Amino acid sequence: MMHDIFFALEQGATLLTANRRLARHLCCMFDARQEAKGRAAWRSADVLPLPAWLGRCWDDMAESATLGEHPALLNTQQELTLWERIITESPQGQGLLRVSATAQDALEAWALLMQWKVMLDGRNNIFNEDVLAVQRWAQSFEELCRVSGWMENARLPDFIARQIHAGALKAPRHLLLAGFDELTPQQQALFEALRAAGSEVSEVQLPSFPQSRARRVGFADSDAEIAFAARWSRHLLEQGHGGAIGVVIHDLGTLREKVARIFNDVLLPASIMPGEPADVSLYNISLGTPLSDQPLINAALLIIEMAQGKLPLEKLGALLCSPFLAGGEQEMTRRGLLDARLRRFGELTVSVDEIKRHALTADACPLLGARLRQCIEVMHTLPRHQLPSAWAATFPRLLVAMGWPGERPLDSHEYQTVMAWRELLADYARLDEVVARQSLNEALARLRKMAADTLFQPQGMDAPIQILGVMEAAGMHFDHLWVMGLHDEVWPTPPRPNPFLPLSLQRTQGLPHASAPRELAFARRMTERLLASAPEVVMSYPQRDGDRHLRPSPLIVSLEEAVPEGLPGYMSAAQIPSYAAVTYQAAAIESMGDYQAPSLPEGSLASGGTGIFKQQAACPFRAFAEHRLGARPLATTQIGLNPMERGQLLHASLEQAWQKLHSYERLCSASDEAINDIVTQAVTAAIGAMAEKRRLIFTEKFTELEKNRLEKLVTAWLALEKQRAPFTVFEPEQERVVQVGGINVTTRIDRIDQLPDGRQVIVDYKTGVSDTGGWFGDRPDEPQLPLYCAFNEQEVAALTFAQVRSGDMKFKGLAQYDGIAPGIKAIGKIESISSWHGLVEEWRATLHNLGAAFRTGHAPVDPKNPPQTCKFCALTPLCRIHEHDGVGLEGDAQEAGE
């Protein structure tokens, strides 16, 4: 059978296939046949998919100048852009949220009408609003193409058939068809026109295995199914079974990432190691990934987006860490630190000028700063609007300015990615014919969408394992075949009629996906073809999907049932260990309890303030990691102000207010109008100071809302302050350096009030719920106020949280005696506390122990209340506490922290 096909190809016949993969497969078989005959050179076989042949016919007419007045052929992106334009400008398109998706569905509906030679008429069909809309859009599309001299790909087969009939295009002498499970009426008309013109058109039967042995196997879930198929493939390779191994997956588009991960883990375990490229010659996945998902393309798109003058912080972080910019390798660490610094400012977007300024500050990233200068120079030359072809010429200038695609040599995958990018720009430039001048933002949006719609599949060596979708396997034959995912909910595929065509019309004309009987017939035909594609076939299905029980497809129920243990090579396949397991088993693990870090010199100034004592009490390793190693997570950003910034605004507002009021006496004597003026001035000053740093956040409306919020809070709090005993604000927001446990720390007390007897009250503002219970014990949760009290220069009469919270204003604290403020308890009423001075001494001793432990390097992974202490800690990847059974055991837990 194949001998006859190859002989015809040697005689100059043209072979048309249903898809590109089959065309490539047959070409490889043809070349192998020529090599087997001992030939050193031969004419390439004329094998290509049908769309490529139609395009070649068009090109032949263009080269022979026979096109004359014939229309210009639109490519897919041009057609889609036209449909989007028509929909956007139509009354039916007003208010649509997803114009691109609607245009895609409408274009598919139009193509179906052309392929199946169906006319939209209402004689025997009911037209809903969607059908009427696409009918009007189609009329506009046809008229626009007629006036502009354009033709879409859906009409190309009809056009080629007319040209052949008219003698304007020479028909091939012998035409073979392979892999077509079903010919559309349009394709049938084309081939009839070829036969009428003298061409010999025949469908060829590709090799099959009608007596193949097929079995069905069920697996616990999809993961187990894929994993066993990967191990089965590896077993076949290791046993030296020659020939092709096929793995056909029903829902490959959805499962592609999972499939690649599992097959890499089983077939290419070392590929996860740094500097170890994946050996792509072992397997090939037919379905590509969106071009926009490639890191090189993502970096290019981010550079173009940055040319708008600013970039969202999250995207900026990805760009700074990209190796595809000039200096990306040399300044990798510095750019990571620059990213962390910019995140701490809290702005959602950062201007290019600001990025450049920080890059050049203190010579942080000089190479990046120099490139940003060049980029800004190009930005200043950009016009507001221009045609796509002009933007396509402009974008490379921006990329060159930033040194894209980097300085290191590109590997094969990256080189092909760059070539795909150039083709993408060329396709975008062709949009001149169908769109008007665009702004940079519009051009970027279109280019990004085109990149997302373009599937990228790098070419490589022919692999022994081919992973395919059901349609890609058309006409292919294998030595070993595994078909997976065939459970009853997806095979046959549920009907998916086009939403823009009448359902009755689709069912009457037998359009694809229109009805359950048609899908059943199609699935039965595909199943029979797959069963005849190899001498031995395994058809599998998952038995569960989450909490749903699944059954085998009714199309494979009749096959011989098997269990994984009964498959060839089960023992070898099932016992192939993962790379992680082999590494772990080979490791010689030595456990040692080393939780002692180097000591700090007596009197060292430690950064972190009172937070050191809070972290040391919560978990000594956390205090060591954060305040000595500087291990902190990247700052996160959010829309508006974060809770810390809102608290800072309130603190600043109250500080400003008390600087004017100064005392309880003046507060009580001031009129409501005077207090309102003071509050307004205080809030205005606080907001103004923060707005200098957060200009993008403090818009006019946001400032007004924040001002109203703060004024209400501060006014309500001052009303509560009037219920206190007399006092004078002694020190608002005063910084001090105190020595505790041998380390010097900087403290900043929110407020110190002076009482008439000379004693002081320490006040700490809180915008959340506060609790004095965190002041006690050997490992206090909130040691800040006890530290201020125990190491204050003057005697303290009370310490209190000032809970400034809307609807829940209160003081919560402890005092030597009653009457200082409402809500502050006198210690005489607390049985567990013997005396005020005894409590202060206890605090002093506790804080001294915590400070001394931090200074001497006592740093075990020892959370106070696991897992609550670890719940919001970002250092678990560093301490790896969850990898250990014992939590709180210094020796065992610290092994994770070494």
> What's the pLDDT at 93?
84
Tokens of 361: 């500050």
Residue holding tokens 């980029």?
375
Tokens of 363: 């010579």
Tokens of 214: 């097929």
> What's the pLDDT at 123?
60
CB 223 within 8 A of CB 427: no
> What's the pLDDT at 456?
92
Selection from 801, 782, 748 nearest residue 850 by Cα: 782
Kindly report the number of other CB atoms within 10 A of residue 534's CB atom: 25
Selection from 134, 151, 202, 147 nearest residue 173 by Cα: 202
Q: Residue 470, by phi and psi: left (phi above 0), alpha (psi -120 to 50) or beta? A: alpha
Pairing of strands 150-151, 810-815: unpaired
Sheet (strand 174-178) strand order: 46-49, 14-17, 174-178, 200-203
For 308-326, what is each residue's pLDDT tens digit?
Answer: 999 998 899 999 999 999 9
What distance in Å separates the CA atoms of residue 896 and residue 888, rounded to the nearest whole number?
12
For 770, what's the count of Cα atoms within 13 Å in the CB-facing half-sphere? Answer: 25
CB 345 within 8 A of CB 693: yes
What distance in Å separates the CA atoms of residue 363 and residue 343, rounded to the nearest whole number?
19
Tokens of 341: 């610094």
Strands (E), 180-251: 200-203, 213-219, 245-249
Phi, psi of 468 (to 5 degrees): -130, 160
What distance in Å separates the CA atoms of residue 489 and residue 538, rounded to the nearest whole number?
19
How large is the angle between the packed helices 620-627 and 611-618, nearest 10 degrees?
A: 140
For 744-793, what is each residue's pLDDT tens digit?
Answer: 999 888 889 999 998 999 999 998 888 888 999 999 999 999 999 999 88
What distance in Å separates the CA atoms of residue 13 and residue 43, rounded to the nearest whole number?
12
What distance in Å separates the CA atoms of residue 171 and residue 517, rounded to the nearest whole number?
38
> What's the pLDDT at 17?
93
What distance in Å separates the CA atoms of residue 52 and residue 17, rounded to the nearest whole number?
10
Residue holding tokens 């394992």?
465
898: pLDDT strictly greater than 50: no
Tokens of 270: 């070392």
Indicate the DSSP class of residue 382.
-
SS3 199: coil
DSSP H/E element including 517:
helix 516-531
Please give, one letter per residue, the 3-state secondary structure of 248-268. Answer: EECCHHHHHHHHHHHHHHHHC
Q: Residue 819, by phi and psi: left (phi above 0), alpha (psi -120 to 50) or beta? A: left
Mean pLDDT of the residues in the chain: 88
What distance in Å separates the CA atoms of residue 450 and residue 455, rounded to the nearest whole number?
10
What distance in Å separates the CA atoms of residue 827 and residue 785, rounded to the nearest whole number?
16
For 819-836, what is each residue's pLDDT tens digit?
Answer: 899 989 888 767 677 788
For 572-612, what is each residue's pLDDT tens digit?
Answer: 555 666 677 777 777 777 777 778 889 999 988 888 888 99
> What's the pLDDT at 202?
92
Indicate the DSSP class of residue 44.
P
Distances (CA, A) of 674 to 489, 670, 680, 715: 74, 6, 10, 11
Selection from 73, 91, 17, 464 nearest residue 284 by Cα: 464
176: pLDDT strictly greater than 90: yes
> What's the pLDDT at 364?
85
CB 474 within 8 A of CB 86: no
Work out the pLDDT band at 884, boundaries 50, 70, 90: low
Tokens of 573: 């396949």
> What's the pLDDT at 894?
36
Number of residues written out for the chain: 898
Non-local (6+) Cβ contacts of 778 within 8 A are 617, 846, 849
What distance in Å separates the CA atoms of residue 757 and residue 436, rounded to the nearest whole number?
81
Selection from 721, 712, 843, 852 nearest residue 783 by Cα: 843
Predicted TM-score (pTM) of the model is 0.82
SS3 456: strand
Contacts by residues 687-691 (CB-CB < 8 Å, ≥ 24 positions apart): 687/649, 689/652, 690/645, 690/648, 690/649, 690/652
What distance in Å separates the CA atoms of residue 735 and residue 746, rounded to the nearest whole number?
7
Most confident of 25-39, 258-272, 440-454, 871-885: 440-454
Tokens of 407: 């300085």
> What's the pLDDT at 4?
83
> What's the pLDDT at 412?
86
Give the amino acid at 194. L
CB 887 within 8 A of CB 863: yes
452: pLDDT strictly greater than 70: yes
What distance in Å separates the CA atoms of residue 570 and residue 592, rounded to the nearest whole number?
41
> What would the DSSP string read from start to end of 282-321?
SEEESS-EEGGGSHHHHHHHHHHHHTTSEEEHHHHHHHHT
Distances (CA, A) of 16 to 153, 208, 476: 18, 19, 14
Work out the pLDDT band at 239, boundaries 50, 70, 90: confident
CA angle at 456 for the pair 453 and 458, rounded to the nearest 5°: 175
Is residue 896 packed enough to be buried (19+ CB in 10 Å), middle (13-18) or exposed (0-12)? Answer: middle
For 125-151, what is each residue's pLDDT tens digit?
Answer: 567 888 888 889 999 999 999 899 898
Mean pLDDT of the 533-559 span: 93
Tokens of 439: 């702004």
515-532 per-residue burial string, b: 16 or more CB within 10 A, e: under 16: beebbbebbeebbebbbb
Pairing of strands 385-386, 465-468: unpaired
Tokens of 875: 């250092």
> What's the pLDDT at 127?
75
Non-local (6+) Cβ contacts of 580 within 8 A are none
What distance in Å separates the CA atoms of residue 264 and residue 258, rounded to the nearest whole number?
10
Indicate the DSSP class of residue 152.
-
Strands (E), 18-144: 46-49, 72-73
> What's the pLDDT at 475?
81
CB 689 within 8 A of CB 652: yes
> What's the pLDDT at 205?
83
Tokens of 660: 């004017």
Non-local (6+) Cβ contacts of 532 within 8 A are 208, 209, 210, 212
> What would the DSSP string read from start to end of 115-128?
HTT----SSSS---
Distances (CA, A) of 179 to 464, 474, 663, 878: 21, 5, 92, 55
For 294, what's the count of Cα atoms within 13 Å in the CB-facing half-sphere? Answer: 27
Phi, psi of 145 (to 5 degrees): -65, -40
Tokens of 749: 């007390």
For 668-706, what is each residue's pLDDT tens digit?
Answer: 999 999 999 999 999 999 999 998 877 778 888 999 999
